[in-house]
Amino acid sequence: MEMKSKTLLILYATQTGNALDVAERIAREAERRACTVVIRSTDDYDANSLPAEDTVIFVVSTTGQGDTPDSMKVFWRFLLQRNLGSHWLEGIHYAVFGLGDSGYQKYNFVAKKLDKRLSDLGATAVVEKGLGDDQHPSGYEAALDPWLSSLWSRLNEIKPHFFPKGPDFLVSNEELIGLPKFQVTYHNVDDIDSRLSTATDFKYLQMQIGRARSMSSGKVPHEKCKPDAFLKMVKNFPLTRASHEKDVRHFEFEFVSQVIKYEIGDVLEVLPSQSPAAVDSFIQRCNLDPESLITVHPREMENRHIDNNVNTLDVPIKLRTFVELTMDVTSASPRRYFFEVMSFFATAEHEKERLQYFASPEGRDDLYQYNQKERRTVLEVLEDFPSVQMPFEWFVQLAPPLKNRAFSISSSPLAHPTQVHLTVDVVSWTTPFKRKRQGLCSTWLASLDPEQSIYIPVWFHKGLLPPPPPSLPLIVIGPGTGCAPFRGFVEERAVQSQSGTIAPTLLFFGCRNENNDFLYRDFWFSHSENDGVLSEAKGGGFYAAFSRDQPQKVYVQHKMQEQSERIWNLLCEGAAIYVAGSSTKMPSDVMVAFEEIISKESGAPRESAVRWLRSLEKAGKYHVEAWS
């Protein structure tokens, strides 16, 4: 009889880090049961080796409209190969836990597809797939806790060889905590050679951000962490009335380093600045020296042969700069594991007990109320538990990473060759305990004064809205800030129309009130007149829905119904559909409106209309960019 591997493999595919958190939690629980585990990202694992495994646990998140995370694309393509056959994974056991958001139509689509594919390839499920839901009051952990307890009890029954110390053995938490994943080395000023320039030139700034961010992630190469460019704000003005509950702004930026070529439909990522006072308070609370010079390494690299080339990046960085550029201590809430580790370092008994309760399954809902619901920051949590003194290495591992924020670009490079424009909703809300909270990046951008020179590190990415050629007719739906990318589309077509012909564009915009939040009103109107891109003369049209200006709500889909004949005629001419905006209900309401219009105008049954739209999606002519 062949010896089965004694190692439990955990594979994760993450977009924002949640799936990694879940995978690490499963690994910790396995280690508590004396089980040997290996944890890998799907882009760091050769799918060819799957048949040689014994049991594999998959943790996968679903992004956007049912898409696989970037790190899973190659792995998933491999699994879909026809020649693998229905016996390829025979004898292999697996379990799938998915992370999704039931606000989307294709809820947890990736986990469901993966589960079906593994079983089609002959693998056997240990337990029914678990589906974590962002919309649940306790987040994905509401589904994870019960799923994990059935996973361990099933594995104990069918795979006892994983648990050499028996089904009831558990290592105490104290022994388990072990060492943090990162190691921090402190350097003397004399160690530093001339590589540490003090100039504020952009190359140096770029290197510094790249170094700090590649150290903190431990995995991502330095090149990927370096910003593509720096921008300086030249305009900052409100698009909504001051009395209105929403504050939406128009920002214009100039390139200050090199000019990056971008396209309409692209996305700009911004690294936000944290409040210097809050960063200082965090450093003080942790008894750290902000001026000390440090390098940070993943601990697992200790045993590896470190390539000499790597050391060129090991120029130490000031501790304060490292915290400021990589650790979100002022806006994001820490994870449950943060509270578990804090409980080891609490010296006051009542604090220790409360932290242990928060980290337990029984305390989960109370922790959710205290932490996520209130959006408590790392700094606020530390102030609530003054007896906790945790080594800096643990903070490097457990503080939420400072993430880039992504915005749809709302300008056309043809119209503004040296500029980038953004349309940003300045986020603010009140928590259940009536605490005022603000979005880190949008609030910071809104506070910037174009008269000052502040350099903003940015990255450019392809979005989900490919730039359409001038000859392609467009039907565009962009309510609220969803209109941002389409402002760029219209600007681009306006420039193109000066030298050639352009196809018609129908644009549907929606907001609450005509007088309060009609974003870019004059811009749309000017392009609807005098042979503009949206004018009747060019076969175009601009239609605005104001949901609150009359007793019954009027949304973009109602305006679409009114123009059903024009929409149908353009679709018959081969038009592409572009939809952007909030992900709650709008994208599916718009899809339903299209089904009704096609069915009504063509006289075909609803099923045919649905199939017709599916084929448009497949042909790359139905694009959705939605954000929550």
CB neighbours of residue 189 within 10 Å? 10
How many CB atoms are located within 10 Å of the residue 110 CB?
25
- Which residue type does 449 have? D
- Residue 557 assigned to a binding site: yes
Residue 14 marked as a ligand binder: yes
> Is 61 within any annotated ligand binding site?
yes
Does residue 277 have a known ligand-binding role? no
Say which amino acid occupies 448.
L
Question: What span, in angstroms and rounded, lies between the C-alpha atoms of 401 and 163?
Answer: 34
The response to whether 225 counts as a known ligand-binding position is no
How much is the CA Rg of the chain, to the nearest whole Å? 27
Three-state DSSP state, 238? strand
Distance from the Cα of residue 106 to its chain's centroid: 17
Per-residue DSSP letters for 360-404? SSTTHHHHHHHTTTTT--HHHHHHH-TT----HHHHHHHSPB---
Query: Is 441 labeled as ligand-binding?
Result: yes
Q: Write out the E strands in 493-609.
A: 505-511, 541-546, 576-582
Q: Would you say 191 is a known binding-site residue?
A: no
Q: Which residues contact 225 (CB under 8 A, 6 or more apart)?
A: 209, 210, 211, 212, 213, 214, 217
Neighbouring C-alpha atoms within 13 Å toward the C-beta of 357: 11
Residue 264: closest CA among 468, 470, 404: 468
Query: Helix, strand, coil: what percent of the chain each, to 5?
Result: 40, 20, 40
In angstroms, the CA 133 to CA 94 distance is: 21
**Cα separations in angstroms, 12 against 23, 50, 81, 104, 487:** 6, 14, 20, 21, 38
- Is 15 assigned to a binding site? yes
Q: Is 62 annotated as a binding residue?
A: yes
63 is in an annotated binding site: yes
Is 555 annotated in a binding site? The answer is: yes
The whole-angstrom separation of Cα 412 and Cα 493 is 9
Q: Could you give the residue ranges of the DSSP H alpha helices within 89-134?
A: 109-120
Burial 589-620 (b: 16+ CB within 10 A, else e): ebbebbbebbbebeeeeeeebeebbeebeeee
Check whether 295 is labelled as a binding-site residue: no
Dihedral angle over CA of 509, 514, 515, 521, nearest 10: 40
Q: Are 12 and 58 in contact (CB under 8 A)?
A: yes
- Is position 406 annotated in a ligand binding site? yes
Residue 624 assigned ligand-binding role: no
Is 534 marked as binding a ligand? no
Q: Answer yes or no: is 188 a known binding residue.
A: no
Where do the H-state alpha helices sit in 71-135?
A: 73-79, 109-120
545 is in an annotated binding site: no
Pairing of strands 229-238, 455-461: antiparallel
Closest by alpha carbon to 62, among 106, 119, 26, 31?
106
16 annotated as ligand-binding = yes
Residue 134 labeled ligand binder: yes
Q: Is 554 annotated as a binding residue?
A: yes
Residue 264: closest CA among 59, 490, 74, 38: 490
Residue positions forming the annotated binding site for FMN: 14-19, 61-64, 134
Residue positions forming the annotated binding site for FAD: 375, 405-408, 439-442, 627
Residue positions forming the annotated binding site: 14-19, 61-64, 134, 375, 405-408, 439-442, 481, 547-548, 553-557, 589, 627
Residue positions forming the annotated binding site for NADP(+): 481, 547-548, 553-557, 589
